[in-house]
Structure 1
């Protein structure tokens, strides 16, 4: 409390200050919702995506490969970028500057074209000849004004047989040449291995990595941003060197796991009345890290 009896919320971002004055139920809903927490590598990725989107059309367009461990912020960056360039509805058509599609778990050319049509909102017939499917997809991509194609879960390419894998890599090269738009592949390290299998694609896709977090100044700055974003009524001392090391060890160094841990601790802080993420609320948090979850699951199977 401040001297005049009002809550002192100066430790929070302005948006979080407003939420912090609300009842617990509304604060808990806010804590559990998605939020964007910026950090240097994410900003660099967004800047690179902006550069690619504004690139003049030419025969050999530059592409990007966004690589990182599972749950380390790749999809959040893509979604942040897509929302900053939303689809625009015109009287006779809808313009989609950034199209995001997920690589099928068992990739084939037909399944990928079908996924593209679904992402464009096109009605699908039960059967298409491959040549007709290809021409329809290209026509709709052009009509929708797609200026960037993002392929998430690109590492699923390795799940295909050798011949289908090669066919799909050829398809990526064909789409880039035919549409003259940048392609962005998103995935774990195996996505790079898939692209590296084709010399021409490897030369076109510039890698940008999102490595696991280490206990350095960037991580402390990230934790300070998290602390300021949760609508808790007392400061959360989580940006210290000691706490940074503890939190990254417990979350195994990925931003997604770190967010889950801090969210559970913030919920515990509100429900317990502690109103801060600290040693007590971190112990109250029901969070378990990836390795522990695997051990528990394997133990239940035996």
Structure 2
């Protein structure tokens, strides 16, 4: 039985909160996107990893797809080895194209400090952290933000994504 139909023991306010809360409603395009994300996550490691761009008008469910995909993907800790693992790292792109800020957001998402104000050192830190955490997939929401800013900043930020 769904959470919506199982409301007999709830107060009126609790039922209203339940009805108004976010929840996943399966639909073909969303299911296809989730399936593709799973394929990317489980795919073989390659020199140039495949990617997926989900495009749609505002409020069409792109972020909801990401949230659904991220459920149950919290970082794990192996007590025997003493190592953490974060198979998927999800971030929101900076509000405009900015290579250093992008690196900072990734480092923040994995709980690491941003070591410097130099992009090359921040890039090394990101690669080191993602490797240490055995990250297989980096998901970036609101990539449209990367088209804001100067042409040079956009090119640098997009090049950082390729690396």
TM-score (norm 1): 0.51
Q: Deviations over 1:190-214 (max 9, x none)?
A: xxxxxxxxxxxxxxxxxxxxxxxxx
Give the equivalent residue in structure 2 for 1:52.
40
The counterpart of 2:95, out of the listed 98, 105, 108, is 105
Secondary structure class of the residue paired with 1:17: coil
Q: By how many angstroms is 1:121 displaced?
A: 0.9
Give the equivalent residue in structure 2 for 1:133.
122
Give the equivalent residue in structure 2 for 1:25.
13
Q: Deviations over 1:197-251 (max 9, x none)?
A: xxxxxxxxxxxxxxxxxxxxxxxxxxxxxxxxxxxxxxxxxxxxxxxxxxxxxxx
Give the equivalent residue in structure 2 for 1:149.
138
Which of structure 1's runs of 4+ aligned residues deviate more than 4 A? none
Secondary structure class of the residue paired with 1:117: helix
Give the equivalent residue in structure 2 for 1:271.
none
The equivalences for 1:159-238 within 5 A come to 159-174=148-163
The counterpart of 2:85, out of the listed 45, 70, 95, is 95
Q: By how many angstroms is 1:85 displaced?
A: 2.7
> Structure 2 CA distance, aligned partners of 1:67 and 1:53?
19
Q: Deviations over 1:173-197 (max 9, x none)?
A: 12xxxxxxxxxxxxxxxxxxxxxxx
Structure 1: 5+ residue stretches without partners: 1-12, 175-302
> Structure 1 CA distance, aligned partners of 2:17 and 2:155?
46
Q: By how many angstroms is 1:29 displaced?
A: 1.9
Higher helix share: 1
TM-score (norm 2): 0.91
Cα RMSD over matched residues?
1.6
> Structure 2 CA distance, aligned partners of 1:165 and 1:130?
14
- Distance 1:14-1:168 versus aligned 2 partners, 3 A rule: closer
Structure 2: 5+ residue stretches without partners: none
